[in-house]
Structures are given as structure tokens and as C-alpha cells.
Amino acid sequence: MKKLMSLLVVASVFMACTDDDIRTEQNLSNGPKVVGFISSLATVEYFTDEGVVLREFPMSLIGNGNGQPSATPIEVTYEVDPASTATEGVEFDFVDNSGKITIPAGGTFGNFPINVNTGQLNPTQKTQLILNLVSSTPGSTIGAQYDQLRITFVGCQSQLQGSYTVIISTVAGTSTRTNEIVSVAGVNAFQTRYVGRYALGTFTPAGYRFVDICGEIAVPDQNLGQYSNQVYGIDAYGPGVDGIVTSPTQFEVKHNISFAAGDQTQNYRYTRNN
């Protein structure tokens, strides 16, 4: 299996950075100050009524222009995207109705706060509040790849942990494992015992991680065990959805593993053991 690493070393020679790969906000010596959401996704999860809880989401100063924080506040206006499915007054309430997020003078970030109504999150499906950054103070600019934040409200707690039989298929063939164990790795997050058709003990850590949000499964980018090959989702069931829960005892997942010779899709069908 060490061959996996050598293949990637060869591939990396052909993927060295060029000047075209450098984003403008990485040049801190000149240009405008670049602002935006470093993380485009945030999850708010509550499964019991804890009352109203204040949550804050940072908007950051990503590129400093002249290398110094701004001597004056940077104000950024935002709009709620019409594709939002969360409702003000139900899942959340705005703390500030100005429609602006402010990075204070000398600061590196400003917070977007909301009050979360924990007892009113949907118990069967996720909802989202989507913010689009629109304009900013002169002398600053909004990074195109940092101009949106999706806040996902989750009121459904996943219970996928347990013992499974899993059928794993790839272009190379099909394997059936009767001793798959899905363990809890966090809130609505899980770790498998197996990844692909590889034997148990091949990788450290073993398996792969995934997240279940109201029956929709996402596979975050991660290493293939101790190797630098990437396990990543492919949106096989829709944008951001790499698997689905099909019944109380079954779910399925698809993801890719990167290889120098070409990425390979892994297909899984899990059935809970009695």
C-alpha cells in the first residue's frame, strides 16, 4: 500500500503552484482589503428545547492589502438569499436588523449574530438561512469565493451507529462485509470500519467519516487513512448529498478515492444487522 504515496509524489510534480494559482487575497502587500466568510457552511444542531441561544458566525478580514488591519471600521452589507428555507421568527431571530456586518477598526473579523429558537427546529428535515454579501466599505472588497454563508438548522438527531452488513462495489468488483461497525464520531457524525474493498487493518484510522443530516449523508474531504490520497464526496444524490437513508435499517453512500491513475468511485449499501 505504500505505493499509494509514491504515486502521489509523482503526481505532485505536475501540480506545482504557478502564479495563476495564487489568489489575489493572498498578496498582502497591495490591493484592497478582502473580506468574506472563510467557511461557507455552518451547522446549528439542537434536539431538545434549550430556549433561545445566541450564536455568532464570523466574517473575516482575509487579505490585509498593505499588511495592516484597517484603521477604520469595515462595513459589509448582506442580503438573505430567496432560496433560504429557514424562517425568521421560527428557527431564528435577527439580533441586528441593520443588514450589515462590521469588522471593527484594528480588528480581523466581525460577527453575524442570531438568536436560535432551539425548540422550533424542524425535527424531520434541515432548513437553511443563506446570506449573500453584497457590498463593502470603499478600500475593501468581498472575495468572490467567500461571499456566501449557509447556516443549516438541524433538529433531527441521527442514530445510524451500529452493526451492519455492507455491500461495497467498485469498477474492480464487489465485496460483502458482514462485520461493518458504524461508530459515533460527533453530533450526527460517524466513522466506518471499512473503506472501499480494502481489508481491515490497511488504514489508520480505519474507514471513512460521514455526516447524516436528516437522512442526507455528506462525506467531508479526508485522507485515506495514513496516506495523502483523498476520500471525497461526489454529490451523487444532489448538491452536497453523497448518500441517503432509505429506511430505518438501510442507507447508502457514494464517494471517490483519488489516485494518480484516476479517481475511483466507491458504492456502499448498508443493512443493519439484527
Q: Which residues contact 135 (CB under 8 A, 6 or more apart)?
A: 76, 77, 142
Task: Tell whether 144 and 202 lie within a shared domain.
Answer: no
Q: Say how many Å lie between the first and final Cα of the chain, rounded.
A: 34
Residues 196, 241, single domain; the answer is: yes
- Find all residues with CB under 8 Å of 229, minimum gap 6, and list them: 4, 8, 223, 257, 258, 259
Contacts of residue 165, Cβ cutoff 8 Å, sequence gap at least 6 = 176, 177, 178, 180, 270, 271, 273
pTM of the entire structure? Answer: 0.68
Final residue in a domain of this structure, among 154, 173, 197: 154
The per-residue pLDDT string of the chain (274 residues; one tens digit each, 9 = 90 and over) reads 333 333 333 333 333 333 333 333 444 345 789 999 998 889 999 999 999 999 999 999 988 766 678 889 999 999 999 999 999 999 999 999 999 999 999 999 999 999 999 999 999 999 999 999 999 999 899 999 899 999 999 999 999 999 999 999 999 999 999 999 999 999 899 999 999 999 999 999 999 999 999 999 999 999 999 999 999 999 999 988 999 999 999 999 999 999 999 999 999 999 999 8
Assess whether 238 and 167 both reside in one domain: yes
Quick one: 130 and 55 in the same domain? yes
Q: Does residue 122 share a domain with residue 148?
A: yes
Domain total in the chain: 2
Nearest one of 115, 5, 119, 140 to 64, comparing CA atoms: 140
Q: Supply the CATH number for residue 75's domain.
A: 2.60.40.1740
Contacts of 242 (CB under 8 A, 6+ apart): 210, 217, 218, 219, 233, 234, 235, 236, 253, 254, 255
The last residue of one of the domains, among 154, 186, 211, is 154
